[in-house]
């Protein structure tokens, strides 16, 4: 499968631009490069039924975050708080850095 880098990474604040959670913002808690999906804290909650077990003798119904495709989220610039596209460039030391296409500042 396509294992290309994504425009977002764990810890980034993103805004959802498509789907049921459109318009909401949250922090990325997990990234799946294989499937190009990201899991966002508190968004896209699904209901999971848990069977009773030794750790959870009661069982029950849990709300869990489900992954969203990376194309449905846009990065939120930490400085301005606006949605922006992220791009990569080499800095003076030759290391790759992400920067905001809107402001040109390093993210």
Beta partners for 15?
25, 74
Give me the long-range contacts of 82-90 (CB less than 8 A, separation at least 24). Answer: 83/15, 83/17, 85/7, 86/7, 86/8
Pull the structure tokens for residue 106: 């390093």
pLDDT digit of tens for each residue in the chain (107 aa)?
567 889 999 999 999 999 999 999 999 999 999 999 999 999 999 999 999 999 989 999 999 999 999 999 999 998 888 999 999 999 889 899 999 998 888 88
51-75, pLDDT tens digit by residue? 999 998 999 999 999 999 999 999 9
Domains, the chain? 1-76 (2.30.30.30), 78-107 (no CATH)
**Cβ–Cβ < 8 Å for 82, 74:** no
């Amino acid at each position: 499968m396509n294992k290309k880098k994504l425009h977002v990474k764990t810890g980034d604040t993103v805004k959802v631009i498509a789907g049921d959670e459109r318009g909401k913002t949250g922090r990325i808690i997990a990234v799946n490069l294989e499937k190009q999906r990201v899991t966002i804290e508190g968004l896209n909650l699904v209901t999971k039924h848990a069977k009773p077990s030794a750790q959870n003798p009661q069982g029950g119904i849990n709300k869990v975050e489900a992954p969203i495709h990376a194309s449905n989220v846009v990065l939120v610039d930490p400085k301005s708080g606006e949605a922006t596209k992220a791009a990569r460039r080499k800095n003076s030391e030759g290391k790759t850095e992400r920067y905001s296409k809107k402001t040109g500042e390093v993210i």
